[in-house]
Copies of this chain bind each other. A is one copy, B any other.
Amino acid sequence: MRESEAARWLLERDRFLILTHVRPDGDTLGCAAALCAALRQKGKTAWAAPNPGVTETYLGDIQPYFAPMDYAPEHIVAVDIATEGLFPDALAPYKGRVELCIDHHPSNSGYAQNTCLDASAAACGEIVYRICRDGLGTMDAEIARSVYLAISTDTGCFVYGNTTPTTHRIAAQVMEYGDFFREINRRCFQTKSRKRLELESRLLQSAHYYEEGRVVIGGVSLADMAQVGASEADSEELSSLLRQVEGVQAAATLRELAPDQWKLSLRTDVDYLNATDTCALLGGGGHAAAAGATVSGTDREGMERRVLEAIRTVLNGR
């Protein structure tokens, strides 16, 4: 379904409930908030389904749109949700009931009755922006800030490789509607929790470098987590840290998930090392540039040595 058709579909109906995905990010939440605001401008009743996984970072953006307990929707819309497997548990009752899915994931399973998909969009927020502005004919500061939240977070503030000229063009257009970008940028891209910073510090201290600095292996133990008092949220995406080190082309991050059981996350420059092939040697898998495996062992040195051996086996097999 094209964006104009999706807009017409929305205009012909009323009483919407908008679903967001599990472990919600700024894109799914920003899309839900923007769509709610736009539909309300058109005189519709629209709410976002309460998503219990919303972190403190985004709570203020979406909570005002959370549907009241007794809301009885007539039409279910999903934003940025590629498959029903990504529904939060609380939204399981809506499986098989989504009438319109707006998404940018090429892997979208087609679970909805109608799917409005643009896999070239860096963020689902780009599609929602066009539906709101061109299709519904609505745009104001509130819609604009939610679109900005969506596209800025899904591109790491325009730094990731998925960013396109269109992403920047939409950013320029929505920024004309209000002075919201400074607060969003500060909150989403320029703030780190103390616990997060302490975990990063410990991970860096633990790092050992090999192959003239092209390979790095580091880890965070359960003891580290306990001493820092860190939560799972504090340790999210830790594996991207070592990949940032100058000269590093393969970064292996070990996280102890249960006593003596470690999760290996391997991030690589694919021209240097295939991450999938390496993790396969340790019983895992993934993508060429980002793969993982579960590694057991009480002896941390020995475990690191096994990871290094797997890396060297693939390096030497090139």
Contact = CB atoms under 8 A, between A and B. Distances in A.
A131 B155 CA distance: 30
B246 A193 contact: yes
Contacts of A173: 165
Nearest to A182: B161
A20 B190 CA distance: 29
Give the interface SS of chain A, mostly helix, strand, loop or mixed: helix
15 contacts: A159-B189, A160-B185, A165-B171, A165-B172, A165-B175, A169-B169, A169-B172, A172-B172, A190-B244, A192-B245, A197-B245, A198-B204, A200-B204, A201-B201, A201-B204
Contact of A175 (B164, B172, B200, B247): B164
A158 B161 contact: no
A138 interface: no
A168 interface: yes
Contact of A213 (B185, B194, B245): B194
Interface of A: 157-161, 163-169, 171-173, 175-176, 181-182, 185, 189-194, 197-198, 200-201, 204-205, 209, 213, 244-247
B205 A201 contact: yes
A176 B169 CA distance: 12
A166 B157 contact: no
Contact of A190 (B159, B190, B204, B247): B159
A194 to B, nearest CB: 6
Contact of A171 (B157, B168, B191, B205): B168
A159 B161 contact: no
